[in-house]
Structure 1
Amino acid sequence: MPTIHMAEASPHMAVAVDGQHVLAVGPYEELLAAHPQSRVRTWPGILTQALLNPHGPELLEQAYHPDPREADEFGTEPVTDLSLVEDLDEARWGASARRGLQRMLAHGTVALAGDLTRPVVVEAVQRSGLTRWIREEQPEGLPSLDPFATGGTVVRPLPISPGHHARFAIFDVRDERELAERGAGTCVATVLDGRLLYRRR
């Protein structure tokens, strides 16, 4: 059964998803009329292309993502001074990478760029479904989970069009200008290959 995703501030940009792929894109009312048996998911804000984070190695192999139980010691942001983290073995690197990837999804990210060298990190990325992109040069700006906060160019690598993999995000903002101002922390949902992998609670 197809699913129609519609964001309240952009009803002209509803997306019908069937399995892993985009079935149709267009005004919500037209999609519903064409696919009346669809399940409907209504979101606040706007539906738009998902994001690419250009700082894959910096965020997943050069920073530690604390477990929520470690918040008193490390806080909730990525720890870049790795000397503060004791016993950082491969198991903890893998767990850190998985948490980092979930936090990327929570910022509307479905792709990352840069060479990864730690096998446990590579495995975590492969299992997550995020797409890996080749990075020709060092990206602009500072590494951040929010691509809008890096100071560099924000890249949206994947089109939303029929036949393509269904990869998009919904942000609780009124328009693209507000999204650029407030950043990807406004993400309420991220869809990757048709699966709802992040939903704000």
Structure 2
Amino acid sequence: MGNRWTGFVAPGTGAQAVSLLDETVSELPPVLRGAQAPQQGISAPDGDVRLERFPASSIGPYWLGAHGGAGETTFRELLDGVECHHRWPSPTPEAPSPVVVLLARQTHRGLESARRAAQGWASGQHPDVVLAGLVIVADTPGKTPRSLAAATRVISGGVPFTWMVPWIEELRLTGAVDWESMAREPRKVLTAIGEAVDELTSERIPQ
């Protein structure tokens, strides 16, 4: 398989590969599947901009926002776990394989930040971290622009799973989300994320 990162062009920065545009539609499925482990031949992101690290105090799950406003606090409140404050957890004797979920908004800036973070993991920069996947949160209601959908598909090829969380109007209006009143579609996706992360975490709790 070729390097899935080479075809990525951040939305608005240049022409997309024709094959990507041909196969991409504005509606993405709720879950996309990609590489299950770091891959040979994947280079680290260019430049010196990278997320810092901190020692893990538990297996997690750790909610790692690839950029400001990605939703670390919201996901910690909904699904428990630990906010990373935009840093990777480093393994410790108490937590030799912390479970991490990357978070990003589906915007130009958000997807570029997610790409860099995911590429860092795929290149082997965090070998002892268990990456559950990437959560992409819709930034507006309605259909996803084609360029953002194309970028999302490319990024999803480099991480185990990519979950697409639909727009949640309640979160914009109140700053919080109530499970009981949440719309069916986002609740289904959030439940799937929670189940997948719980399974990974329980498998790695020291006996």
TM-score (norm 1): 0.26
TM-score (norm 2): 0.26
